[in-house]
């Protein structure tokens, strides 16, 4: 997984919409993986589905957490 550039993180901390979207997109596949739920069909077959409500909750939590980030100075 590629690293997110510091400049994008700095902008996201300032709640720049494009930077926030970039970070959410960066973690989208991992969030969807975390949101997988296994259900059993009437036929007895088990299938995995993405819980879209969980995806929204995790994305929202990620965006809220970004505002709490603090960058360390480079001194």
H helix intervals, 1-75: 6-13, 17-34, 52-66
List residues bridging with 18 in a β-sheet. none
> 3-state DSSP call for residue 37?
strand
Domain range holding 52?
6-65
**Amino acid 74: pLDDT:** 66
* Number of independent structural domains in the chain: 1
In a domain, 75, yes or no: no
In a domain, 28, yes or no: yes
Q: How many helices (H) and strands (E) does the chain have?
A: 3, 2
**Amino acid 75: pLDDT:** 58
In a domain, 70, yes or no: no
In a domain, 38, yes or no: yes
Return per-residue pLDDT of the chain as tens, 75 residues.
789 999 999 999 999 999 999 999 999 999 999 999 999 999 999 999 999 999 999 999 999 999 888 877 765
In a domain, 71, yes or no: no
**Amino acid 69: pLDDT:** 86
Say what the pTM is: 0.82
Residue the block writes with tokens 């997984």: 1
In a domain, 46, yes or no: yes
In a domain, 1, yes or no: no
In a domain, 59, yes or no: yes
């Amino acid at each position: 997984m590629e690293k997110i550039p510091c400049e994008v993180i700095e902008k996201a901390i300032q709640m720049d919409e494009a930077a926030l979207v970039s970070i959410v997109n960066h973690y989208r596949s991992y969030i969807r993986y975390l949101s997988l739920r296994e259900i059993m069909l009437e036929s007895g077959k088990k299938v995995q589905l993405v819980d879209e409500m969980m995806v929204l909750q995790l994305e929202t939590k990620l965006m809220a957490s970004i505002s709490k980030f603090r960058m360390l100075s480079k001194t």
